[in-house]
Amino acid sequence: MGLIPGEVVAMPAWRLRDYHDDDLDQAIQVWDQSRRTDEEPAFPVSEVMAAAQTGRTAVVAVVGDELVGMAVAQEHGGRAWILLVALASQWRGRGIGSALVAELERRLRTLGVRRVSALLPAGAAGTKALEHSGYLTRGDLTYYEKLEPRETAHTGALTALGGRMLPYGLWGAMAGMEWEKQVVERRIVLPLTEPTLADRYGVVPPKAVILFGPPGTGKTSFAKAVASRLAWPFVELFPSRLAADTSEGLAAALRETFAGLAELDSVLLFIDEVEEIAGARSGKAIDPGHGVTNELLKLIPGFREHDARLLVCATNSVRSLDAAFLRPGRFDYVIPIGPPNPTARSAIWTRYLGPAADSVDLPQLVAASELFTPADIEFAARKGAQAAFEREVTRRQGGSATTDDYMTAIADTRPTLTTQAIEEFNEDIEKYRRL
């Protein structure tokens, strides 16, 4: 039914209230909606949420039970920094941001704050609200920042282990996969970045986790993104390479690697395809994998005794892992990293399409790539762009990549996933997931 001319449609009323601890999930969702994929926030989410949990300098906007906006500040010595002004995408332009800032200022005044500053990326969601609230930009200031690696004094040991410090920002570059990002954020990242706060609430930071799911779904990318967020060295252990690098056997190579980690103050150790060294034991004394699995089982408890350590194991076949390897005493969480749903595929396509995302039929590409992993989508996007590039080189017509270019690339790409693989993954979720 169409609208009657002159009819006013009433929007759901929003209200402001204090931030509550159980708002965390929705707050992170609003945070993600307020950021561009390539945008690096001035303050990490762990710092923002820690400030919010103090209860005095955080306010949210809600519609019913839905959190649609949030503003957080940090006060010290009569000065405050606004850390976040975030709004759900569908609630922008309604004056909510300005109301959040006004309420935040009122609370800060009661704390004796007379100077309020904000540091946001250019064009961030909260900039309009600040401008409407009378905040002025300072063009005469230059912002400096240095992230000091904790392992500067241990470069030699890190190099010997084949490890490296990963660039900051990998977490923000993870497109789509919002459910997985939220789980990893809540269960792994926040307890490790806020250990004092975690201890106050009786939350024990994780020491070892398993990521499982079909090939190409992003397990390695998640491990690297977590190391990037933590600013910890990333060391990847390759079972096949260990066996080739020593004549003393794989078990001895494992012991040597874990011993080398003791020289580092912090580390994320990543073992991909861990089923190669932790597969189900047959029970036979001559089983060649028996000793290797036993050795790894003995090494994990010692690894867990140290602070600032995280073991991340990834597997395409969680059902093939040894039962003793999966028990809670060794791994805190067993997290599924599954194929992207339509929303995630849309975000991934948008990331890899770049400027072409505005001119192609994105829903058509999303529907046609149902069994694609993020890696498959990246490959198809590059293949479509390459086709347009080659056409331009030969014809010089000035046309950009089209929907047909990408649909042809999709048709030429063999998806990593199969219906059977997805069915088995769903069965594994029911049996093995531990969050």
Separation CA 347–CA 32 (nearest Å)? 12
Tokens for 167, please give them: 């660039």
In this prediction, residue 125 carries a pLDDT of: 75
The model's confidence at residue 160, banded by pLDDT at 50, 70 and 90, is confident
Q: What's the alpha-carbon Rg for the chain, to the nearest Å?
A: 25
- For tokens 């923002």, the residue is 48
CATH for 154-182+198-336, among 3.30.565.10, 2.60.40.1120, 3.40.50.300, 3.30.1310.10?
3.40.50.300
Q: In what order do the strands lie in the sheet with 66-76?
A: 15-18, 58-63, 66-76, 79-87, 115-118
**Alpha helical stretches, state H, 124-211:** 127-132, 155-160, 178-184, 190-193, 195-200
Which part of the chain has CATH 1.10.8.60? Answer: 342-411
Fold of 342-411: Helicase, Ruva Protein; domain 3 (1.10.8)
The model's confidence at residue 151, banded by pLDDT at 50, 70 and 90, is very low
Tokens for 163, please give them: 């490890």
> 223 by DSSP, 3-state: which?
helix
Task: Write out pLDDT tens, residues 70-93.
Answer: 999 998 878 899 999 999 988 888
Which part of the chain has CATH 3.40.50.300? Answer: 154-182+198-336
The model's confidence at residue 408, banded by pLDDT at 50, 70 and 90, is very high
Buried b (16+ CB within 10 A) or exposed e, 45-78: bbbbbbbbbeeebbbbbbbeeebbbbbbbbbeee
Q: At residue 7, what is the residue type?
A: E
**Inter-residue contact 264 to 151 (CB < 8 Å):** yes
**Inter-residue contact 174 to 235 (CB < 8 Å):** no
In this prediction, residue 153 carries a pLDDT of: 46
Which part of the chain has CATH 3.40.630.30? Answer: 15-132
Out of 164-173, 213-222, 339-348, 371-380, pick the least confident.
Answer: 164-173
**Chain centroid to CA 358:** 25
The model's confidence at residue 2, banded by pLDDT at 50, 70 and 90, is very low
Separation CA 359–CA 351 (nearest Å)? 14
**Inter-residue contact 65 to 25 (CB < 8 Å):** no
In this prediction, residue 244 carries a pLDDT of: 59
In this prediction, residue 365 carries a pLDDT of: 96
CA distances from 135 to 112, 297, 420 (A): 19, 57, 56
Could you tell me which residues are beta bridge partners of residue 209?
Answer: 312, 333
DSSP 317-331: -GGGB-HHHHSTTT-
Sequence-distant (6+) residues with CB within 8 A of 392 are: 398, 399
| pLDDT of residue 289 exceeding 60 | no
54 vs 9, more confident: 54
* Residue 354 neighbours by CB distance under 10 Å: 11
The CATH number of 15-132 is 3.40.630.30
Q: In what order do the strands lie in the sheet with 208-212?
A: 234-237, 267-271, 309-315, 208-212, 333-336
- For tokens 């395809």, the residue is 273
Mean pLDDT along residues 405-409: 95
Q: Which DSSP state fits 353?
A: H
Separation CA 289–CA 124 (nearest Å)? 53
